[in-house]
Structure 1
Amino acid sequence: MLKLKHSLLCIALLLPTAHAETIIHAGKLFTAEDETLHEKMSIVLDGNTIVDIKKGFIDAGDDDTVIDLSEHTVLPGLMDMHVHLSFQHEGPATYIKRFTQSNADNALSAAYYARKTLKAGFTTVRNLGDSQNETIALRNAISAGIADGPRIYTTGKSIATTGGHADPTNGMRADLQGDPGPKEGVVDGVVEARKAVRQRYKDGADLIKITATGGVLSVAKSGQNPQFMTDELDAIVSTAKDYDMTVAVHAHGEEGMRRAILAGVDSIEHGTYMSASVMELMKERGTYYVPTILAGDFVAKKAEIQGFFPDIVRPKAAAIGPLIQDTFARAYAAGVRIAFGTDSGVSPHGENAQEFALMVEAGMPEAEALISATRTTAELLKISDTLGTISKGKLADIIAVEGDPLKDITVMESVAFVMKDGRVFHSPD
């Protein structure tokens, strides 16, 4: 009898034990693998990984957890390729904060805006410029599980030329300007350009961001002049590639865009004065376009308010802002690869999804707009093997909205459920 019990115990130890899974019942499912909206689907998770997707609402085992989203549309976690988490434009006082706020203040602001961004359904972002590497620290804190927010890919401080957009001393009186250099993200010449990239690598940045032309909100006259020479751009791109870093490029003017694309950068941000020839060059070189229509819409409206922007900024905002949506429409019609991005921080954080309506208004179908913020953004980040679609083997970044976004894209502005890396951060009341 003892031998029999021992044998049964040995068999029991060899048999597979019951394994608890999480099952999401999705009323509608947009996987982003294609433009189809599937009805009544089940997504099976093992920890933070999608292990199966089945038709119908499958039964759960005794130890399984069911998340009922049967009245919702379920989608992959959204990705915004252009945010500034430690900054939010709030009118005239914004320009004073660089003198009154410390890096600790910026870091706390970034943590607050990161939570808002995640709750809005954006589980991954590219942070394209901060003040003192506060978003590198925030990225590390989120990765370590001691702060909540989206998965962050950050450039740290952007790279500019002396007096260029992202020179942090623009607008200061002479005795305060000093002479910022590569460490502060200000370069002149090939040697300093290479050093600035290497400094970003040393700081722990994920990618490089340069300001190839003038900008709207910087306290400087031009919003579109080219601000890097071709040898400087070549040095930045070749050095970045040595460190396996991509290069994102702020650019409004045509010549600055052309120089950057020919140098081999990965994405053009804003692209306001993009010509048909530049669009063809982007297609030829595989350069992504991150439109940030929402930022253009925001600054154009605020330019109508006397005193909201400094006098040197207001005409740039009034002229450039209204053009971005038209540029987007032409770029989409031309077949340029478009990755979703908002420049949130210029507009309020947490309102990122308003970009979808502006994209659809300009002629992009709803399904393509959603793919631009999921599958295409994952391709730009080179993380398609783990994120971007709801597919077997990928990480469980999953959101849900009420209604049908293929019929009314504005439902994306009110996200009811957010899961990042298998953990639920927001759920229906």
Structure 2
Amino acid sequence: MCVESAPPPPSRVTRRGVLAGAAALAGTAAALSAAPSMAAAHGRTPGRTAAGSGDLVVEGGTLLDPATGHVTEDAVVVISSGVVRAAGARAKVEIPDDARSLDAHGRWVLPGLVDAHIHLNTAAEAHEAVRNGATSARSGFTNFYQDIAVRELARQAPDLAPRLRAAGVFVTPDLGDTVLADPDLTPLARLKDGVRSAEALRRVVEVNLARGADVIKTRVNERAGMPEQDPLAQVYSYEQLSEVVSAARRGGKGVLCHSYSERGCDDAVRAGIRSLEHGVFVSERTLHDMRRRGTCFTPTLSAIAGLAESSNPVLAERGRMYVPVLKEAVRAAHLMGVPLVAGTDSSGGQIKPIGREVELMHAAGLSALDAIRTATTQAALLLGLQQTVGRLARGFAGDLIVVDGDPLADVSVLKTPLHVVRAGLTL
């Protein structure tokens, strides 16, 4: 069966209806209606501006700038309408007289962290991610466009969800129930071999773009977290991946690719993906190619380590085998200068702290500062947010975390932030 290669209809009614359904599934509409009462219950109303962001002064803490590694003691961060207006030593920062303040004396202050691979299907999951310190994120796909609904929630009520780059639905051979998410995907259910032809691959990408996806997610291998699947089995060829990348590029978007096998990683990188996800058996040759191309590596160490703790013997053995291989790949990538980015691959209602991924990056051989950069400056660059995320400097987003200890001496403090501020609003 053929699928017409014409772009999906740009009907506002179709898009509005599809995304309204996604919002209902994600519970974002209910979260928005409850936002005023939630804010009042948490004492946040006084600092909230009309735009939904906040005014706040964080003072007395030790400020870390991940970009430079510079540390400022007794620092002050001034946030107005959700944006940093000043940050630095107390003597150099003018503090507004009527400012609402957060005392950070004896603590460390860092920019909010970025989780560059997370699956946020509900408003509750999105809120948990923020509370764990991920004030920005990139989706790894959702089955019914829930991440697009979460992105809109974040824009209207930033303290309820991380700033999000949404991926929409997965470009995968078997769409499963995802065909129910969108009338423009339904015809693909009749394809005998699934989403494999150039026309079908383009159609899923184009529908995602029409629904407002910021990035496109695809795969080259089967899944590691499902015991019946072989994560080294390849599901798409270089040519098929190239179709996905080309269709995404025509829409001005990049592609993240779920990859495990050596050949699969190489095919994905050669096809022109923006970032390699998981990448357990990525070869040295492919890492060199990634360095040349500027392809990012999101190893999702915490997700792979989590397999080793599974009660399923197949997954547990898989995790025990994969973790040391992946750590070595991360170490090699870092030494070669491949951009490393932190992502938890959280899903299914279990939201892992992004600080745990930073901790595992450090354990794999990165310095504490370089590990922190994978969840700040480097992740921000991958998401195209380098001018607003990853630092606390004038003009950057008023997103930050306060931790109880020096993260340069002990990165584990990032797993349990004492305070999280999103767009000037304290959670």
The structure showing larger relative contact order (alpha-carbon pairs under 8 Å, at least 6 residues apart) is 2
- Residue equivalent to 1:343: 345
CA distance in 2: counterparts of 1:361 and 1:146, whole angstroms = 32
User: Per the alignment, do residues 190 and 21 of structure 1 end up closer, same or farther by CA in structure 2, a change over 3 Å counting?
Assistant: closer
Tell me the alpha carbon deviations over residues 295-317 of structure 1, each in whole angstroms, 9 at most, x when there is no partner: 11110221xx3xx37x6x66644
Contact in 2 for aligned 1:114/1:149 (Cα 8 Å): yes
Work out the percentage of aligned pairs sharing the same amino acid.
25
Q: Tell me whether 1:160 sits opposite 2:172 in the alignment.
A: yes
Bigger drift between 332-341 and 374-383 goes to 332-341
2:82 to 29, 36, 48: 48
User: Per the alignment, do residues 350 and 231 of structure 1 end up closer, same or farther by CA in structure 2, a change over 3 Å counting?
Assistant: closer
- Residue equivalent to 1:117: 129
Q: Tell me whether 1:261 sits opposite 2:269 in the alignment.
A: yes
TM-score (norm 2): 0.79
1:263-412 alignment to 2 at 5 Å? 263-302=271-310, 305=311, 308=312, 316-345=318-347, 348-412=350-414
Alignment RMSD (CA, Å): 2.7
Amino acid across the alignment from 1:118: V
Give 1:271 deviation, angstroms.
Answer: 0.5
Tell me the alpha carbon deviations over residues 363-408 of structure 1, each in whole angstroms, 9 at most, x when there is no partner: 1011111111011111001111222211111111111101100001
Amino acid across the alignment from 2:154: I
- Residue equivalent to 1:93: none
Give 1:269 deviation, angstroms.
Answer: 0.5
Amino acid across the alignment from 2:351: H
- Residue equivalent to 2:200: 192
CA distance in 1: counterparts of 2:127 and 2:116, whole angstroms = 17
Bigger drift between 397-406 and 23-32 goes to 23-32
Give 1:114 deviation, angstroms.
Answer: 1.3
Q: Tell me whether 1:134 sits opposite 2:134 in the alignment.
A: no
Give 1:352 deviation, angstroms.
Answer: 2.8
1:418 to 417, 420, 423: 420
Contact in 1 for aligned 2:159/2:423 (Cα 8 Å): no
Amino acid across the alignment from 1:123: T
Q: Tell me whether 1:83 sits opposite 2:100 in the alignment.
A: no
- Residue equivalent to 2:156: 144
Q: Tell me whether 1:64 sits opposite 2:99 in the alignment.
A: yes
1:227 to 226, 231, 235: 235
CA distance in 1: counterparts of 2:364 and 2:378, whole angstroms = 19
Give 1:203 deviation, angstroms.
Answer: 2.4
CA distance in 2: counterparts of 1:77 and 1:202, whole angstroms = 30
CA distance in 1: counterparts of 2:243 and 2:173, whole angstroms = 14
Give the match's secondary structure for 1:363: coil
CA distance in 2: counterparts of 1:53 and 1:179, whole angstroms = 54
Q: Tell me whether 1:25 sits opposite 2:59 in the alignment.
A: yes
Which blocks of at least 5 consecutive residues in structure 1 are unaligned? 1-19, 87-109, 170-177
Amino acid across the alignment from 2:86: D
Query: Which 4+ stretches in 1 moved above 6 angstroms?
Result: none
Give the match's secondary structure for 1:226: coil
Give 1:45 deviation, angstroms.
Answer: 2.3
Which blocks of at least 5 consecutive residues in structure 2 are unaligned? 1-53, 178-185
Bigger drift between 114-123 and 49-58 goes to 49-58
CA distance in 2: counterparts of 1:324 and 1:168, whole angstroms = 30
Amino acid across the alignment from 1:284: R
CA distance in 1: counterparts of 2:349 and 2:71, whole angstroms = 31
Give the match's secondary structure for 1:161: coil
CA distance in 1: counterparts of 2:190 and 2:411, whole angstroms = 43
Give the match's secondary structure for 1:70: coil
Contact in 2 for aligned 1:182/1:193 (Cα 8 Å): no
Give 1:289 deviation, angstroms.
Answer: 0.2
Bigger drift between 285-294 and 123-132 goes to 123-132
Bigger drift between 134-143 and 268-277 goes to 134-143
CA distance in 2: counterparts of 1:218 and 1:190, whole angstroms = 27
Amino acid across the alignment from 2:202: R
Give the match's secondary structure for 2:418: strand
Bigger drift between 249-258 and 44-53 goes to 44-53
CA distance in 2: counterparts of 1:59 and 1:379, whole angstroms = 30
Give the match's secondary structure for 1:353: helix
